[in-house]
Structure 1
Amino acid sequence: MPTRIIDLAVAIEDGLPSDPEKMIPHIDYTDHATGAAQMTEYFPGLQPEQLPAGLGWAVESIQLTTHSGTHLDAPYHYHPTMDKGAPALTIDQIPLEWCFQDGVLLDFSHKADGEAISAQDVATELERIDYTLKPLDIVLVRTGADAFWGRPEYLIKGAGMTRESTLYLLERGIKVVGIDAWSWDRPLPFLARQFQAEGDPSIIWEAHFAGIEQGYCHMEKMANLHHIPRPHTFKVACFPIKIKNASAAWARPVAIVAE
């Protein structure tokens, strides 16, 4: 059966202001001419003009965090423990079978920036698309925030999940989820304003901290969820780069759709 692969990742780009300043990636590009000069260091006696067109390799050096670009967060990102006391898994310990499963797309792009996605919202959307979750489904949440990727306002765009809506998914055997916004939670500035007004610490990072009760992974900064043609009957692959003892790693998630 013919299939189509839909790219669900953003590109890591130099200097994009879609992260807090300390997290913005920086890329140094070594072009082919500079690469030719570098190659002479490895091959004594070599002259650059002896190489094809006088050019050598191209190489990049990148400064970034494990949470730059589209990435998969491990339970260790949220807390040292998960599943009510077990050691939290780091990204290199995530079972790979979690990362290749049937996908489910929940569309909350109609919600306002900073609005909460409740457990009832999730249940209503599942009823609308006529789907019953099964263990290990990969649930993708569309907010529409990815339309602002590359701009500073991306940081405050999109609705976000809550503790109760996250646990609603986890209690049904879900292990990997994803969102097209900067955070699985509501945008941090909205949470900060609510905390200042109410003084209630339980709202801080509440969807992330749900992983203390039940371990799970989530992808953030996804893209192109609106290109997935159906809300289910597609596969998701989202294998993370293997970084020892890390809280997250970069991923290139894709939706695999049967035509």
Structure 2
Amino acid sequence: MLRALPSGLFAALLVFVLTGCEAPSPDADLSETSGAAAAAFPDGELVDLSHPFNDESIYWPTATQEFELEEEFVGDTGNYFYASHVFRGAEHGGTHIDAPFHFAESAEAAEEQFTVEEIPIERLVGPAVVIDVSEQATDDRLYQVQVSDFEAWETEHGRIPNGAMVLLNTGSAQFYPDREAYMGTAERGEEALPDLAFPGLHPDAAEWLVANRSVSAVGLDTPSIDYGPSEDFAAHRILFPENIAVFENLTNLNDLPPTGAHLIALPMKIEGAGGAPLRAVAVLP
């Protein structure tokens, strides 16, 4: 777990970035910032929710390009040390975002469907709630998060706030990057698809979120928002026309409380893409 930046500097920097104001210097007296700016974002411990990208990063079995880092030059130039690499990888792999455009050509909720760079930044920064179904998913690796799981969470913690990002903790991150334990199979290609086995979001629960709550995004610690055996990817197709982005292959959800944390989920800003690598960080209350 990463520690908070001193004296609220992280919170102030983020506020100024999001509002377009000039950022304070590291030695600035933050007590002089406006009350609105100082209170706009919490200051607490940081939790990294992203897996590193490397040759063990998990991609969908049919991905034609998994993560690869190629060395261009690493060493002494004669005058100084220099390092440069080229990286490659499909847009959907490792910890990543599914933009609505991934499964929705158009949207009822907007004039144009969001590709990665079109997702408003305010939909990627905000309060997070964590629905813990790790016990159910441990007993059943094909478990699908149910409407009753959301209702039980709300009974204990109150209504899911408008604009929240809903994180589903299935306990699956403990298996990453063991492909067989995490996905159900280590095989690649179309022949691997029938053997996929991991938890996801039931389409009925996705429908419930769309119909009854106003959330910005849904994330979880598995390779897909739809459970492993899904052939129609219904949860994707329910959420995306409403411009609800999805975060997949998250980690460290056990370190987050059910409510009170804030999430910063900023993807590589790839124009026209349906997905991108994601660095997600939670700020604890």
Q: Do these two structures clear the TM 0.5 threshold for a shared fold by scoring above it?
A: yes
Q: Does 1:233 align with 2:275?
A: no
1:184 — aligned with what? 225
Unaligned runs of 5+ in 2: 1-7, 9-42, 185-196
1:44 — aligned with what? none
> Which of 8, 15, 27 is the equivalent residue of 2:69?
27
Distance in 1 separating the partners of 2:266 and 2:142: 29
1:3 — aligned with what? 44
1:160 — aligned with what? 200
Distance in 1 separating the partners of 2:57 and 2:277: 17
Residue type at the aligned position of 2:278:
A
Question: Is this contact kept in 2: 1:160–1:185, CA < 8 A?
Answer: yes
Question: Is this contact kept in 1: 2:100–2:241, CA < 8 A?
Answer: no
Question: Is this contact kept in 2: 1:15–1:26, CA < 8 A?
Answer: no
Q: Output one character per residue of 1:85-143: Cα deviation in whole Å (capped at 9) or x when no partner.
A: 85321111101111111110100111211122121222123323x22112111110001
> Which of 116, 120, 130 is the equivalent residue of 1:105?
130
Residue type at the aligned position of 2:227:
R
Higher relative contact order (CA 8 A, sep 6+): 1
Distance in 2 separating the partners of 1:223 and 1:24: 19
For 1:62, what is the secondary structure of its paired residue? strand
Moved over 6 A (4+): none
Q: 1:246 to 1:22 in 2, by over 3 A?
A: same
Q: Does 1:90 align with 2:115?
A: yes
Distance in 2 separating the partners of 1:151 and 1:232: 30
For 1:82, what is the secondary structure of its paired residue? coil
* Worse-matched range after superposition: 106-115 or 206-215: 206-215
1:123 — aligned with what? 151
For 2:134, what is the secondary structure of its paired residue? coil
For 2:262, what is the secondary structure of its paired residue? strand
Report the alpha carbon displacement of residue 214 of structure 1 after superposing the two structures with TM: 2.1
Per the normalisation by structure 2, the TM-score is 0.73
Q: Output one character per residue of 1:12-62: Cα deviation in whole Å (capped at 9) or x when no partner.
A: 1125455426342111134532x62xxxxxxxxxxx2xx24xxx3111211
Residue type at the aligned position of 2:207:
L
Aligned-residue sequence identity (percent) comes to: 22
> Which of 171, 177, 181 is the equivalent residue of 1:150?
177
For 1:89, what is the secondary structure of its paired residue? coil
* RMSD, aligned α-carbons: 2.1
Distance in 2 separating the partners of 1:155 and 1:22: 17
> Which of 63, 83, 92 is the equivalent residue of 2:88?
63
Distance in 2 separating the partners of 1:12 and 1:219: 15
Q: Report 1:183-222 matches (<5 A).
A: 183-187=224-228, 190-192=229-231, 204-211=232-239, 213-222=241-250
Residue type at the aligned position of 1:245:
G
Distance in 2 separating the partners of 1:69 and 1:3: 26
* Worse-matched range after superposition: 23-32 or 93-102: 23-32
Question: Is this contact kept in 1: 2:210–2:242, CA < 8 A?
Answer: yes
Unaligned runs of 5+ in 1: 37-47, 193-203
* Worse-matched range after superposition: 230-239 or 168-177: 168-177
For 1:250, what is the secondary structure of its paired residue? strand
For 2:239, what is the secondary structure of its paired residue? helix
